[in-house]
Every structure is written in structure tokens, then in C-alpha cells.
Amino acid sequence: MRDIDIAEVAQLSGVRASTLRFYEEKGLIASHGRRGLRRLFDPAVLDRLALIALGRASGFSLDEIARMFAPDGRPRIDRKLLAAKADELDRTIRRLNAMRDGLRHAAVCPAPSHMECPTFRRLLRVAAAGKIGEKKKVKKSRRKSGS
């Protein structure tokens, strides 16, 4: 397949040319020539941009994404880093679900004032403690030994 210029890459990938130039400055992508004033890219840049988009959508920083590529440009993805990001997303999902549930309750709560609602008051205490969405600790049952 022939080289594609920056305008075509932008059109095919949905990434603005200014962002492509920024990615090139950061070392995430590389052009390998010019046609007039336009940078030229290997068509494989589209796959690389898709990986960058996936990383960004997953919450990785550009620096983290840059480390996911070997010097030759091939993906070199740390599985432990992926697992850690998945755990982080789980925490975010729990927090957002708790916030959503609290807002839904507040929207339909029959109490005359939200401050009179026990559920809303509990949500306030949890929020003030910075613990919205944390996993609830399971209480261990105590066994009585017959010794």
C-alpha cells in the first residue's frame, strides 16, 4: 500500500492533523518523509493510532501509551499494567455507580428535605469520608471453639 499524507491519516483515523503532529512530537508516531509540506506516513500508522485511541479511552496517559511500544514500533504491552488499569476502572465504576444510585434516590426521595432522609444522610457521611464506591468490608463471623 502506498504512503499516506497527514490529511489522509486525519481523515481515515478521525484524529486531527494538529493532534497527529503532537503525537509525532511525543514519539508516539513517526512520519518518514514529506510530499511538499505534508508529512507522509506508512499505512500501519492507522493501527498504531487505533491502539493509542484504545489506550486513551481506557484512561492511560500518553506517556504510559508511549511505553507500550518497543523501539521498533511494535506493541509491547505490559500485562500487569493492563490488570492494574482494569482494577482502577473497577474502582471508578463502583464509585460512579454509588454516585448514580445516590442521585437517583435523591431525585425521588419522599422526605420533605434531603437532610431528613436517612439514605441521603448516609451518602453524605460516606462522601465526607471520601469512601463513595469503596468495597464494603465483609465481617468475618466468629466461631466459638470448644477448647
What pLDDT, on the 0 to 100 scale, is given for residue 87? 95
Fold that domain 4-68 belongs to in CATH: Multidrug-efflux Transporter Regulator; Chain: A; Domain 2 (1.10.1660)
Would you call 145 exposed, middle or buried from its count of C-beta atoms within 10 A (0-12, 13-18, 19+)?
A: exposed
Helix (H, G, I), strand (E, B) or coil at 68: coil
Residue 142: which pLDDT band, with cuts at 50, 70 and 90? low
- Cell 432522609 found at: 117
Per-residue cell: 112: 420533605
**pLDDT of 77-128, one tens digit each?**
889 999 999 999 999 998 899 888 888 988 898 988 888 888 888 888 888 8
What pLDDT, on the 0 to 100 scale, is given for residue 147? 45
What pLDDT, on the 0 to 100 scale, is given for residue 133? 67
Answer whether 68's CB lies under 8 Å from 58's CB: no
In whole angstroms, what is the distance from residue 54 CA to residue 104 CA? 31
> CA distances (Å), 45 to each of 25, 49, 50, 73, 81, in order?
15, 6, 9, 10, 23
**pLDDT of 66-79, one tens digit each?**
999 888 888 888 89
